[in-house]
Structure 1
Amino acid sequence: MRLFVAADLPECAKEAIAELRFELPAARWVPVEQLHLTLRFIGEVDPATFQLIRKALAAVPVEGFSLTLRGVGHFPPGKHPRVLWVGMDPSPPLIRMQQHIEGTMRELGIPGEERRFSPHITLARLQDAPVSAVNAFEARHQAFACPPFEVREFHLYSSVLSGKGATHRREATYHHKGA
Protein backbone atom coordinates (compact mmCIF):
# COMPACT_ATOMS: atom_id res chain seq x y z
CA MET A 1 0.00 0.00 0.00
CA ARG A 2 1.41 3.42 -1.03
CA LEU A 3 0.66 6.12 1.58
CA PHE A 4 0.95 9.84 2.17
CA VAL A 5 -0.31 12.34 4.74
CA ALA A 6 -2.02 15.52 3.52
CA ALA A 7 -4.28 18.44 4.35
CA ASP A 8 -7.18 18.99 1.99
CA LEU A 9 -8.07 22.32 0.41
CA PRO A 10 -11.51 23.94 0.60
CA GLU A 11 -13.51 24.17 -2.62
CA CYS A 12 -12.89 27.94 -2.90
CA ALA A 13 -9.12 27.36 -3.01
CA LYS A 14 -9.48 24.52 -5.52
CA GLU A 15 -11.65 26.74 -7.76
CA ALA A 16 -9.11 29.58 -7.63
CA ILE A 17 -6.26 27.20 -8.49
CA ALA A 18 -8.33 25.65 -11.30
CA GLU A 19 -8.38 29.01 -13.07
CA LEU A 20 -4.61 28.75 -13.54
CA ARG A 21 -4.72 25.38 -15.27
CA PHE A 22 -5.03 26.26 -18.94
CA GLU A 23 -2.17 28.55 -19.82
CA LEU A 24 0.86 26.31 -20.11
CA PRO A 25 1.68 23.83 -22.86
CA ALA A 26 3.24 20.48 -21.95
CA ALA A 27 1.73 20.50 -18.44
CA ARG A 28 0.03 17.45 -16.95
CA TRP A 29 -2.40 19.15 -14.58
CA VAL A 30 -3.33 17.60 -11.24
CA PRO A 31 -7.10 16.94 -11.26
CA VAL A 32 -8.85 19.65 -9.24
CA GLU A 33 -10.46 17.09 -6.92
CA GLN A 34 -6.98 15.76 -6.01
CA LEU A 35 -5.36 19.08 -5.09
CA HIS A 36 -3.92 18.84 -1.57
CA LEU A 37 -1.02 19.89 0.65
CA THR A 38 1.27 16.91 1.16
CA LEU A 39 2.59 16.87 4.71
CA ARG A 40 4.57 13.63 4.42
CA PHE A 41 5.03 11.10 1.63
CA ILE A 42 5.40 7.67 3.23
CA GLY A 43 5.60 5.30 0.28
CA GLU A 44 4.94 1.58 0.11
CA VAL A 45 4.14 -0.22 3.37
CA ASP A 46 2.78 -3.62 4.31
CA PRO A 47 -0.66 -4.02 6.00
CA ALA A 48 0.80 -4.30 9.51
CA THR A 49 2.82 -1.07 9.09
CA PHE A 50 -0.27 0.65 7.65
CA GLN A 51 -2.17 -0.16 10.86
CA LEU A 52 0.71 1.12 13.01
CA ILE A 53 0.85 4.38 11.03
CA ARG A 54 -2.92 4.83 11.15
CA LYS A 55 -2.92 4.44 14.93
CA ALA A 56 0.24 6.49 15.60
CA LEU A 57 -0.98 9.53 13.63
CA ALA A 58 -3.88 9.88 16.09
CA ALA A 59 -1.35 11.20 18.65
CA VAL A 60 -0.21 14.08 16.39
CA PRO A 61 -1.56 17.37 17.77
CA VAL A 62 -3.73 19.36 15.38
CA GLU A 63 -4.00 22.88 16.74
CA GLY A 64 -6.02 24.38 13.88
CA PHE A 65 -4.64 27.37 11.97
CA SER A 66 -5.22 29.69 9.04
CA LEU A 67 -3.42 29.17 5.74
CA THR A 68 -3.12 31.53 2.77
CA LEU A 69 -2.10 30.27 -0.67
CA ARG A 70 0.09 32.75 -2.52
CA GLY A 71 2.29 32.77 -5.61
CA VAL A 72 3.44 30.14 -8.08
CA GLY A 73 6.81 28.59 -8.84
CA HIS A 74 8.53 25.42 -9.93
CA PHE A 75 10.80 22.63 -8.74
CA PRO A 76 13.67 22.10 -8.94
CA PRO A 77 14.72 25.71 -8.40
CA GLY A 78 17.27 26.98 -10.87
CA LYS A 79 16.97 23.91 -13.09
CA HIS A 80 14.70 22.68 -15.86
CA PRO A 81 11.15 22.84 -14.43
CA ARG A 82 9.59 19.45 -13.54
CA VAL A 83 6.81 20.47 -11.12
CA LEU A 84 4.67 23.61 -11.12
CA TRP A 85 3.36 24.63 -7.70
CA VAL A 86 1.23 27.11 -5.77
CA GLY A 87 2.94 28.42 -2.65
CA MET A 88 1.69 29.75 0.65
CA ASP A 89 2.42 32.31 3.32
CA PRO A 90 4.73 31.12 6.10
CA SER A 91 2.81 29.23 8.79
CA PRO A 92 4.57 28.19 12.01
CA PRO A 93 1.58 25.99 13.07
CA LEU A 94 1.77 24.14 9.74
CA ILE A 95 5.50 23.55 10.22
CA ARG A 96 4.92 22.29 13.79
CA MET A 97 2.23 19.86 12.61
CA GLN A 98 4.44 18.57 9.81
CA GLN A 99 7.36 18.14 12.22
CA HIS A 100 5.13 16.09 14.56
CA ILE A 101 4.09 13.90 11.63
CA GLU A 102 7.73 13.49 10.57
CA GLY A 103 8.74 12.58 14.12
CA THR A 104 5.94 10.02 14.33
CA MET A 105 7.12 8.36 11.13
CA ARG A 106 10.71 8.22 12.40
CA GLU A 107 9.53 6.65 15.69
CA LEU A 108 7.92 3.92 13.59
CA GLY A 109 11.22 3.33 11.78
CA ILE A 110 10.12 4.92 8.51
CA PRO A 111 13.12 6.70 6.96
CA GLY A 112 12.96 10.49 6.97
CA GLU A 113 12.50 12.62 3.92
CA GLU A 114 15.74 13.53 2.15
CA ARG A 115 14.51 17.00 1.22
CA ARG A 116 13.55 19.78 3.60
CA PHE A 117 9.77 20.27 3.88
CA SER A 118 8.70 22.96 1.42
CA PRO A 119 4.94 23.52 1.74
CA HIS A 120 3.24 23.77 -1.65
CA ILE A 121 0.31 22.54 -3.71
CA THR A 122 1.42 20.61 -6.80
CA LEU A 123 -0.39 22.19 -9.73
CA ALA A 124 1.14 20.28 -12.65
CA ARG A 125 3.94 17.97 -13.67
CA LEU A 126 6.03 19.28 -16.55
CA GLN A 127 7.75 17.27 -19.20
CA ASP A 128 9.80 19.18 -21.74
CA ALA A 129 7.91 22.40 -21.00
CA PRO A 130 9.79 25.35 -22.52
CA VAL A 131 11.54 27.26 -19.74
CA SER A 132 10.41 30.53 -21.34
CA ALA A 133 6.75 29.41 -21.13
CA VAL A 134 7.13 28.40 -17.47
CA ASN A 135 8.82 31.74 -16.67
CA ALA A 136 6.03 33.62 -18.46
CA PHE A 137 3.37 31.62 -16.57
CA GLU A 138 5.04 32.39 -13.24
CA ALA A 139 5.36 36.09 -14.10
CA ARG A 140 1.66 36.30 -15.05
CA HIS A 141 0.60 34.65 -11.78
CA GLN A 142 3.16 35.95 -9.30
CA ALA A 143 0.37 37.89 -7.53
CA PHE A 144 -1.90 34.82 -7.24
CA ALA A 145 -3.51 34.60 -3.80
CA CYS A 146 -6.48 32.90 -2.18
CA PRO A 147 -8.37 34.15 0.84
CA PRO A 148 -7.17 32.49 4.05
CA PHE A 149 -8.84 29.25 5.08
CA GLU A 150 -8.79 27.14 8.22
CA VAL A 151 -6.90 23.86 8.48
CA ARG A 152 -8.44 21.84 11.29
CA GLU A 153 -7.57 18.30 10.22
CA PHE A 154 -5.24 16.17 8.17
CA HIS A 155 -5.67 12.82 6.45
CA LEU A 156 -3.86 9.57 5.75
CA TYR A 157 -4.28 8.68 2.08
CA SER A 158 -3.50 5.63 0.02
CA SER A 159 -2.53 6.13 -3.59
CA VAL A 160 -2.68 3.77 -6.55
CA LEU A 161 -0.64 4.67 -9.62
CA SER A 162 -1.86 3.90 -13.12
CA GLY A 163 -1.21 5.07 -16.66
CA LYS A 164 -3.88 7.74 -16.14
CA GLY A 165 -2.24 9.08 -12.98
CA ALA A 166 -2.78 8.46 -9.28
CA THR A 167 -6.05 7.62 -7.56
CA HIS A 168 -6.19 8.71 -3.92
CA ARG A 169 -8.34 7.21 -1.18
CA ARG A 170 -8.78 8.69 2.27
CA GLU A 171 -7.90 6.02 4.87
CA ALA A 172 -8.18 8.07 8.08
CA THR A 173 -8.86 11.62 9.29
CA TYR A 174 -7.30 13.33 12.29
CA HIS A 175 -9.16 16.37 13.69
CA HIS A 176 -8.36 19.39 15.79
CA LYS A 177 -9.57 18.37 19.25
CA GLY A 178 -11.77 21.46 19.49
CA ALA A 179 -13.48 20.63 16.15
Structure 2
Amino acid sequence: MPRLFAGLEIPPEIRLQLSGFRGGLPGARWVDPDNYHMTLRFIGDIDEPTAHDVLSILGGRRQRDPIAVTFDALDSFGGARPHAVFARAVPTSDLNDLQAEIERLVRKAGLPPEKRKFFPHVTLARLKSGSARDVAGYIATSGHFPKLSFMADRFVLFSSRGTTGGGPYVVEAAYPLA
Protein backbone atom coordinates (compact mmCIF):
# COMPACT_ATOMS: atom_id res chain seq x y z
CA MET A 1 0.00 0.00 0.00
CA PRO A 2 1.74 3.22 -1.12
CA ARG A 3 1.82 6.41 0.96
CA LEU A 4 1.25 9.23 -1.52
CA PHE A 5 1.13 13.01 -1.58
CA ALA A 6 1.01 15.68 -4.26
CA GLY A 7 3.55 18.45 -3.99
CA LEU A 8 6.03 20.84 -5.48
CA GLU A 9 9.68 20.00 -5.78
CA ILE A 10 12.13 22.57 -4.47
CA PRO A 11 14.89 23.47 -6.94
CA PRO A 12 18.47 22.61 -5.93
CA GLU A 13 19.58 26.26 -5.52
CA ILE A 14 16.67 26.97 -3.14
CA ARG A 15 17.31 23.70 -1.23
CA LEU A 16 20.94 24.78 -0.80
CA GLN A 17 19.93 28.17 0.61
CA LEU A 18 17.33 26.62 2.94
CA SER A 19 19.86 24.05 4.16
CA GLY A 20 21.94 26.93 5.51
CA PHE A 21 19.39 27.24 8.34
CA ARG A 22 20.13 23.71 9.62
CA GLY A 23 21.60 23.43 13.11
CA GLY A 24 21.51 25.39 16.32
CA LEU A 25 18.19 24.12 17.65
CA PRO A 26 18.23 21.57 20.50
CA GLY A 27 16.07 18.50 19.89
CA ALA A 28 15.61 19.16 16.17
CA ARG A 29 15.65 16.36 13.60
CA TRP A 30 16.67 18.17 10.42
CA VAL A 31 15.06 17.12 7.15
CA ASP A 32 17.58 16.10 4.51
CA PRO A 33 17.66 18.90 1.89
CA ASP A 34 17.07 16.31 -0.86
CA ASN A 35 13.66 15.72 0.76
CA TYR A 36 12.55 19.37 0.89
CA HIS A 37 9.16 19.77 -0.81
CA MET A 38 5.91 21.66 -0.49
CA THR A 39 2.96 19.37 0.13
CA LEU A 40 -0.14 20.38 -1.80
CA ARG A 41 -2.27 17.41 -0.70
CA PHE A 42 -1.35 14.54 1.61
CA ILE A 43 -3.13 11.46 0.29
CA GLY A 44 -1.84 8.83 2.69
CA ASP A 45 -1.66 5.05 2.62
CA ILE A 46 -3.98 3.79 -0.11
CA ASP A 47 -4.46 0.57 -2.04
CA GLU A 48 -2.97 0.08 -5.51
CA PRO A 49 -6.24 0.53 -7.47
CA THR A 50 -6.95 3.84 -5.69
CA ALA A 51 -3.33 4.94 -6.25
CA HIS A 52 -3.77 4.22 -9.96
CA ASP A 53 -7.03 6.25 -9.96
CA VAL A 54 -5.29 9.21 -8.27
CA LEU A 55 -2.38 9.05 -10.72
CA SER A 56 -4.80 9.05 -13.64
CA ILE A 57 -7.23 11.68 -12.37
CA LEU A 58 -4.45 14.18 -11.62
CA GLY A 59 -3.55 13.96 -15.30
CA GLY A 60 -6.98 15.41 -16.10
CA ARG A 61 -6.46 18.72 -14.35
CA ARG A 62 -6.88 21.98 -16.21
CA GLN A 63 -3.87 23.52 -17.91
CA ARG A 64 -2.30 26.43 -16.06
CA ASP A 65 0.83 28.54 -16.23
CA PRO A 66 3.89 27.92 -14.05
CA ILE A 67 3.46 29.27 -10.53
CA ALA A 68 5.72 31.74 -8.72
CA VAL A 69 6.68 30.51 -5.24
CA THR A 70 8.39 32.75 -2.67
CA PHE A 71 9.61 31.79 0.78
CA ASP A 72 9.74 34.80 3.07
CA ALA A 73 10.37 33.72 6.68
CA LEU A 74 11.18 31.02 9.19
CA ASP A 75 8.32 29.98 11.45
CA SER A 76 7.10 27.05 13.54
CA PHE A 77 4.02 24.92 14.06
CA GLY A 78 2.78 24.07 17.52
CA GLY A 79 2.75 27.31 19.50
CA ALA A 80 3.74 26.58 23.11
CA ARG A 81 4.59 22.98 22.13
CA PRO A 82 6.40 23.39 18.79
CA HIS A 83 6.68 20.30 16.63
CA ALA A 84 8.17 21.67 13.39
CA VAL A 85 10.26 24.53 12.03
CA PHE A 86 9.58 25.56 8.45
CA ALA A 87 10.22 28.07 5.71
CA ARG A 88 6.94 29.89 5.10
CA ALA A 89 5.78 30.42 1.52
CA VAL A 90 3.73 33.43 0.53
CA PRO A 91 0.21 32.20 -0.21
CA THR A 92 -0.84 33.32 -3.68
CA SER A 93 -4.07 32.85 -5.57
CA ASP A 94 -2.27 30.70 -8.17
CA LEU A 95 -0.83 28.41 -5.48
CA ASN A 96 -4.14 28.21 -3.63
CA ASP A 97 -6.03 27.49 -6.88
CA LEU A 98 -3.67 24.63 -7.76
CA GLN A 99 -4.00 23.15 -4.29
CA ALA A 100 -7.80 23.45 -4.39
CA GLU A 101 -7.95 21.77 -7.79
CA ILE A 102 -5.79 18.88 -6.58
CA GLU A 103 -8.07 18.56 -3.54
CA ARG A 104 -11.16 18.36 -5.78
CA LEU A 105 -9.55 15.78 -8.05
CA VAL A 106 -8.37 13.58 -5.19
CA ARG A 107 -11.88 13.64 -3.74
CA LYS A 108 -13.23 12.55 -7.14
CA ALA A 109 -11.02 9.49 -6.76
CA GLY A 110 -13.06 8.65 -3.67
CA LEU A 111 -10.75 9.92 -0.93
CA PRO A 112 -12.08 11.90 2.04
CA PRO A 113 -11.49 15.67 2.23
CA GLU A 114 -8.30 16.98 3.79
CA LYS A 115 -9.05 18.15 7.32
CA ARG A 116 -6.12 20.55 7.62
CA LYS A 117 -6.17 23.99 6.03
CA PHE A 118 -3.55 24.44 3.30
CA PHE A 119 -0.59 26.44 4.57
CA PRO A 120 2.26 26.58 2.02
CA HIS A 121 5.63 25.79 3.58
CA VAL A 122 8.70 23.56 3.52
CA THR A 123 9.45 21.67 6.72
CA LEU A 124 13.09 22.11 7.72
CA ALA A 125 13.08 20.30 11.08
CA ARG A 126 10.80 18.18 13.23
CA LEU A 127 10.83 18.51 17.01
CA LYS A 128 9.96 16.01 19.68
CA SER A 129 11.05 17.95 22.70
CA GLY A 130 11.76 21.48 21.54
CA SER A 131 10.59 24.35 23.70
CA ALA A 132 8.86 27.47 22.44
CA ARG A 133 11.70 29.49 23.96
CA ASP A 134 14.34 27.46 22.07
CA VAL A 135 12.45 27.82 18.79
CA ALA A 136 11.93 31.56 19.26
CA GLY A 137 15.64 31.93 20.06
CA TYR A 138 16.60 29.88 17.01
CA ILE A 139 14.44 31.97 14.70
CA ALA A 140 15.65 35.24 16.25
CA THR A 141 19.33 34.30 15.93
CA SER A 142 19.12 32.70 12.47
CA GLY A 143 19.69 36.06 10.88
CA HIS A 144 17.88 37.74 8.05
CA PHE A 145 15.77 35.37 5.97
CA PRO A 146 16.18 36.36 2.33
CA LYS A 147 13.20 36.09 0.02
CA LEU A 148 13.78 32.91 -1.98
CA SER A 149 11.76 32.60 -5.18
CA PHE A 150 11.37 30.15 -8.03
CA MET A 151 8.91 29.23 -10.76
CA ALA A 152 7.21 25.86 -10.27
CA ASP A 153 6.75 24.40 -13.73
CA ARG A 154 5.24 21.12 -12.55
CA PHE A 155 3.75 19.39 -9.55
CA VAL A 156 4.41 15.77 -8.74
CA LEU A 157 2.91 12.76 -7.06
CA PHE A 158 5.40 11.57 -4.44
CA SER A 159 5.52 8.26 -2.60
CA SER A 160 7.20 7.81 0.75
CA ARG A 161 8.03 5.18 3.28
CA GLY A 162 5.56 4.72 6.09
CA THR A 163 8.02 5.86 8.72
CA THR A 164 8.58 8.95 10.83
CA GLY A 165 10.05 11.67 8.66
CA GLY A 166 8.90 9.98 5.47
CA GLY A 167 11.87 10.28 3.13
CA PRO A 168 13.40 9.43 0.88
CA TYR A 169 10.62 10.53 -1.42
CA VAL A 170 10.14 9.11 -4.90
CA VAL A 171 8.47 10.94 -7.77
CA GLU A 172 5.80 8.56 -9.08
CA ALA A 173 4.38 10.95 -11.70
CA ALA A 174 4.98 14.52 -12.87
CA TYR A 175 2.31 16.92 -14.12
CA PRO A 176 3.60 19.91 -16.11
CA LEU A 177 2.34 23.43 -15.55
CA ALA A 178 2.57 25.08 -18.95
Fold in common (TM above 0.5): yes
Q: Which runs of 5+ in 2 are unaligned?
A: none
- Between the aligned partners of 2:14 and 2:102, the Cα distance in structure 1 is 24
Other-structure match for 1:57: 58
Shift of 1:162: 4.1
- Give yes or no for the alignment of 1:128 onto 2:136: no
What is the TM-score of this pair, normalised by structure 2?
Answer: 0.92
CA contact (8 A) 1:70 1:89 kept: yes
**Identity, % of aligned pairs?**
31
CA contact (8 A) 2:80 2:132 kept: no
CA contact (8 A) 2:80 2:131 kept: no
Other-structure match for 2:23: 22
Other-structure match for 2:72: 70
In structure 1, the residue corresponding to 2:51 is in which secondary structure? helix
Shift of 1:136: 0.8
- Between the aligned partners of 2:151 and 2:136, the Cα distance in structure 1 is 31
Other-structure match for 1:81: 82
CA contact (8 A) 2:72 2:90 kept: yes
- Between the aligned partners of 1:176 and 1:164, the Cα distance in structure 2 is 28
Which is further off, 139-148 or 89-98? Answer: 139-148
What is the CA deviation profile of residues 59-116 of structure 1, one whole-angstrom value per residue up to 9, with x for unaligned ones? 223421211111011112x331001111012311010000000000111121111111
CA RMSD of aligned residues (A): 1.6
What is the TM-score of this pair, normalised by structure 1?
Answer: 0.92
Q: Which runs of 5+ in 1 are unaligned?
A: none
Other-structure match for 1:5: 6
CA contact (8 A) 1:83 1:124 kept: yes
